[in-house]
Structure 1
Amino acid sequence: ALNEERYPNFVLSNLRAVDNTELQEHLVKFEKADVFKKYKFGVLLVKEGQTRDDEFFANQSGSERYNEFLEVLGEKIELKGWKKYAGGLDTEGFSTGTHSVYRPYFSLGSKYEIMFHISTMLPFYEDDLQHVERKRHLGNDVVNIIFNDSSKPFDPASVITNFIHTYIVVSVDEESTKEKGEMHYRVEIANQTQVPKYNPPLRNPPIFSREELKEWLPSKLINAERAAFLAPAIRFKLTGTRKQLLADIFQEFG
């Protein structure tokens, strides 16, 4: 029964039982709409001497250390004919490039799928000074990884965007790499002020071996996106989407 004191604006005479199993299925789908198991994250390369996003997005290839970092992220896959999660990339033609990087991730009994939008693997057009195709993907990813292959710190303000809420900046830690004889990475994180804190915490000092980063980074990326969804700008959009889904259900079964 409806609690009239708690819901004074509801008129009981307007409520009726719906004997339709499809309604239950639609409501289950509605509730599952907020349970994300598939994620897409951008990867942007910054080279020595580059300070503007038009320079970042113009990079067509990277150094050996950049390529090695992509191997840390996941498996390089061929897009044409790809049957698993594609993150909006074209798997029938070559409109979004020929390859990308994919990572299945298992945590607490759940399986997640991650597709990375690698800027250097997306199509490059000489006459497109705005790099629209590349920005269309990375600019719509809530979380972006910056591989800073430069000796200067990365400035989040150098990328013009209204949607990216978190940058996870990765660079080679020269001292640890030299000392231990294998690649080590330094990680820094920049969030918009409205993004709440999220786990796992960043260790101090924030230095990771290849294997450590491979295990730690997916969890940080996923939780970064979940936290960003609580920021007002994104939460407002999600609320609007949920309202529309409910309206559609009411229209069909009301």
Structure 2
Amino acid sequence: MTVAAPSQPVFRYLSPYTTKHTASSPFAQEVTSDSGCSTQANKQPFNPSALLQDRERDLDFYQTHFLDQIHFNYVASTTVQGPIIISMRVDQDDCVRILVRTTRGSERIEYPLSALTIAWFRKLFGVPYLSILEQICPAIPIHALELCQHPELPQELLRMEERQIIRCYKFGAFQLLPGQTQEHEGLANPCDFMHWLGEPIRLCGWKGYRAGLDVTGDTTGETSIFAQWNDYQVMFHCAPLLPFNPADRQQVERRRFIGNDIVVIVFKEGDDEEHFDLSSVGSRQNHVICIVRPVPSGNSSKPNAYRVAIAVKDGIRNFVPLKFPAVLLRDDASRDLLLLKLIRGERAAYGARAFATQLLRTRESLLRDAIETYC
């Protein structure tokens, strides 16, 4: 009996100007209130791809509303949702703020205290946090929670949030000449387009993020393209800057790097009608393909704008910025927008089956270690 090998996920194109969908939080109930305190901080659909989408917001929320302030941390090591750590406080404006951490992500919740019903006898010994939590987050197993008052836990939670923020990215890039449609054809071509996205750097002696490139012996090329954007470092694995073997049609050495990148940029030169053949992408690691084509600009030697299309493997939802234009001008603002889209694309890909399980296990381990060490 012959068992068929599992098929590769199929790529699909994302449409520009996609409508944003919202849904209720998995934990918090929504309440309408005239209070200035938001009743719900996160109304996005809860799915694995959100695991690293909003890590910076989780960190900022924790630093702003909990760290170095009086708050309470409740933990549970064994629940249906896995290990849980919850930070809670009620501020001077009677706004209840909650940060729920589970293996599947974090939930930031803000809730007006006036919207809750609390029995008078529960207020005799201070703010009844568990009673509040039970009303706001009925899906949380309150009976399993224990108060953890270890003085070092808040700093450990800060370190845990910081460790989950990815600030270094590596993107593959190659160029297709007019008439070419296959991945292996592009691996042998030059790629001048990348100088718009980043700056050339000398690899030998490079001290920044190297993305697996050799920075001591020039075995992976002498130069590369690098971008420092906001707090992120981006290294581009540009095919023409990687080692080239004229006798190797598949360019295995170049494919070794680009084939392990989650996001790949394909620059399609010329105005011919030939489209890049997405089925020629054989790597299981490549999940987001950004196809860029120049918009004819008359007599100018360099294009003034680019037509951009983004394809993702099945299982990856659309990602911000959702209203992404189909044409980008060759300017700094468009460059920033494209880099943002590529970074968000990689983060969205973390929810794909190929990566989600490992990320969930990592987060579960972080939560469990914090509970076992400090509680």
**TM-score normalised by structure 1 residue count:** 0.78
Q: Which residue of 1 aligns with 2:308?
A: 187
Question: What's the CA shift for 1:117?
Answer: 0.8
Equivalent residue for 1:120, pick from 228, 233, 240: 240
| 1:41 partner SS | strand
What CA deviation, in whole Å up to 9, does each residue of 1:53-85 have, x standing for no partner? Answer: 22222x1x42xxx41x22211100111111111
The answer on whether the counterparts of 2:181 and 2:275 sit within 8 Å (CA) in structure 1 is no
CA shift in 2, pair 1:93/1:247, >3 Å: farther
Q: Which protein has the larger Cα radius of gyration, Structure 1 or Structure 2? A: 2
Q: Which residue of 1 aligns with 2:276?
A: 154
The answer on whether the counterparts of 1:72 and 1:213 sit within 8 Å (CA) in structure 2 is no
| 1:160 partner SS | coil
2:372 corresponds to 1:242 = no
In structure 2, how many angstroms separate the alpha carbons of the residues matched to 1:131 and 1:27?
45
CA shift in 2, pair 1:191/1:32, >3 Å: same
Q: Which residue of 1 aligns with 2:177?
A: 47
Identity %: 33
CA shift in 2, pair 1:26/1:207, >3 Å: same
What is the alpha-carbon root mean square deviation over aligned residues? 3.0
| 1:76 partner SS | strand
| 1:178 partner SS | coil
**TM-score normalised by structure 2 residue count:** 0.55
Q: Structure 1, unaligned stretches of length 5 or more? A: none
CA shift in 2, pair 1:225/1:27, >3 Å: same
Number of equivalent positions: 236
What CA deviation, in whole Å up to 9, does each residue of 1:79-111 have, x standing for no partner? Answer: 1111111222111111211111111112xxxx2
Q: Which residue of 1 aligns with 2:195?
A: 71
Question: What's the CA shift for 1:148?
Answer: 0.8
Q: Which residue of 1 aligns with 2:319?
A: 198
| 2:211 partner SS | coil
CA shift in 2, pair 1:171/1:237, >3 Å: same
- Which has the larger share of helix? 1
Q: Structure 2, unaligned stretches of length 5 or more? A: 1-73, 76-129, 135-139
In structure 2, how many angstroms separate the alpha carbons of the residues matched to 1:158 and 1:189?
16
Q: Which residue of 2 aligns with 1:166?
A: 288
2:311 aligned partner, one-letter code: A
What CA deviation, in whole Å up to 9, does each residue of 1:194-230 have, x standing for no partner? Answer: 1111122222xx2222105323211111111111112
In structure 1, how many angstroms separate the alpha carbons of the residues matched to 2:206 and 2:311?
33
What CA deviation, in whole Å up to 9, does each residue of 1:139-190 have, x standing for no partner? Answer: 121111101115211121111121211111111112xx12888622111111
